[in-house]
Amino acid sequence: MKLYPIETGNLKLDGGAMFGVVPKVMWSKVYPADENNLCNWSMRCLLIKDENRIILIDNGIGNKQDEKWLRHYYLNGEDTLEKSLKNIGVTPEDITDVIITHMHFDHCGGSVKWNDDKTGYELSFPNATYWTSRKQYELAVNPNRREKASFLKENIQPVEESGKLKLIDKEGEYIPNITFKMYYGHTDGQLIPHIFTGNKTVVFMADLLPSTAHIPMPWIMAYDTRPLQTLKDKERFYSEAIKNNYVLFFEHDLHNEACTLKDTEKGIRADQIGRLEELV
């Protein structure tokens, strides 16, 4: 098995939204903001080559939305999904499986693209099976008012209509060496893939834990729909991660790609921090 971080570019989000009730005087010491209180975040995905499968976890924001919409997120950086795949010699047609942790636009926007004449949409990965949880899919197509703006039908409907969408009802190993676990604090039915490399378990953190700065228990995004559930989610995950020495892979941490955890007098904190290839 080989693992490849896939950079798809960065976006900026309000620091207060990303850190919830934590005061700026505290979070700004560990994650910087600009003069407009915006923090820069990666949209880092993960590609896995394992025997005859090539698996992509999440796929960034995509490029279907109009310029006015994209301006709200201050996209920046030179990386794109297409460039990053090309750099490792993978074409979109090579992808056999796409795991969508959840259907917020910055995680699944690259699933679908314009067709050649921009009269409609087509799958970005035409030969892939797309995986997400049934709970998340049902929420995405019938969203609550809190999350409605994060679910874009053009990211979801074409995948469903293709017949290539597989919906997961319970935790388990649906792809060899990858177990899907579900968490509910950020959004209902978020899939968190646990990847068994032979030597280590790598966990793709998605929005269960956006960055190393969010490791302390009360550091929870205001975007989370049920922050008290997030506390329970983190507690459950941490007990497993410490026991099994998981390597955490971060989708949104611009500064840190991966880390392990340790239990300290102040609670769970990052232990080793570095590139994924250094920790696996």
- Is 99 part of any domain? yes
- Is 77 part of any domain? yes
Tokens representing 170 are: 């319970």
Under 8 Å between Cβ of 168 and 133: yes
State the pLDDT confidence band at 18, using cuts at 50, 70 and 90.
very high
201-247 pLDDT per residue, tens: 999 999 999 999 999 999 999 999 999 999 999 999 999 999 999 99
State the pLDDT confidence band at 130, using cuts at 50, 70 and 90.
very high
- Is 17 part of any domain? yes
171-192 pLDDT per residue, tens: 999 999 999 999 999 999 999 9
- Is 22 part of any domain? yes
- Is 210 part of any domain? no
Helices (runs of H) and strands (runs of E) counted in the chain: 9, 15
The domain that holds 173 is classified in CATH as 3.60.15.10
Q: What is the pTM of this model?
A: 0.97
Tokens representing 124 are: 């970005």
- Is 141 part of any domain? yes
33-83 pLDDT per residue, tens: 999 999 999 999 999 999 999 999 999 999 999 999 999 999 999 999 999
Average pLDDT, whole number, for the chain?
A: 97
- Sign of the C-alpha dihedral computed for residues 231, 235, 238 and 242 taken in this order: positive
Burial of 116 (0-12, 13-18, 19+ CB in 10 A): exposed
User: What per-residue confidence (pLDDT) applies to 260?
Assistant: 98
pLDDT above 90 covers what percent of the chain?
Answer: 97
DSSP at 252: S
Distance (Å) of CA 232 to CA 15, 192, 240: 23, 15, 13
Under 8 Å between Cβ of 12 and 85: no
Show the domain range for 66: 2-202
Tokens representing 158 are: 């074409």
User: What per-residue confidence (pLDDT) applies to 55?
Assistant: 98
User: What per-residue confidence (pLDDT) applies to 244?
Assistant: 96
Nearest in space to 58 (alpha carbons), one of 128, 145, 144: 128
- Is 194 part of any domain? yes
Q: What is the count of structural domains for the chain?
A: 1
- Is 154 part of any domain? yes
The stretch 102-108 carries a mean pLDDT of: 98
